[in-house]
Structure 1
Amino acid sequence: MDRFTQMDLFVQVAELASITRAAALLGLSDSVASRAISALEARLGVRLLERTTRRLWLTEAGQAYYERCAKLMADMAEADAMVDQYSTHPSGQLSLTASPSFAMMYIAPLLPEFRRLYPDLTIRILAANHYEDAIDPGIDLAIRTREYEPDSGITIRKLAQARYVPVASPHYITEHGTPTTPADLVRHRVLMYSVSKESPPITFSKDENKESVRVKPVLTSTEGRVLCSAALAGEGIAIQPMFTLYDDVQAGRLVPLLRDWALPHVTVNLAFHTRRHQPAKIKVFADFLTAQFLQHEFGRKWME
Structure 2
Amino acid sequence: MTTDAIELPDHPASGDAPPQVDNLDALESEAIHIFREVAGEFDRPVILFSGGKDSTVLVHLALKAFWPAPVPFPLLHVDTGHNFGEVIDFRDELVARHDLRLVVASVQDYIDDGRLQERPDGTRNPLQTTPLLDGISENRFDAVFGGGRRDEERARAKERIFSLRNAFGQWDPRRQRPELWNLYNGRHRPGEHVRVFPLSNWTELDIWRYIQREKIELPQIYFAHRREVFQRDGMWLTSGPWGGPRDGEEPVEKTVRYRTVGDGSCTGAVESEAYTVDDVIAEVAASRLTERGATRADDRMSEAAMEDRKREGYF
Class of the TM-score when normalised by the shorter of the 2 chains: under 0.3
Structure with larger RCO (C-alpha < 8 A, sep 6+): 1
Greater Cα radius of gyration, structure 1 or 2: 1
Which is strand-richer, 1 or 2?
A: 1
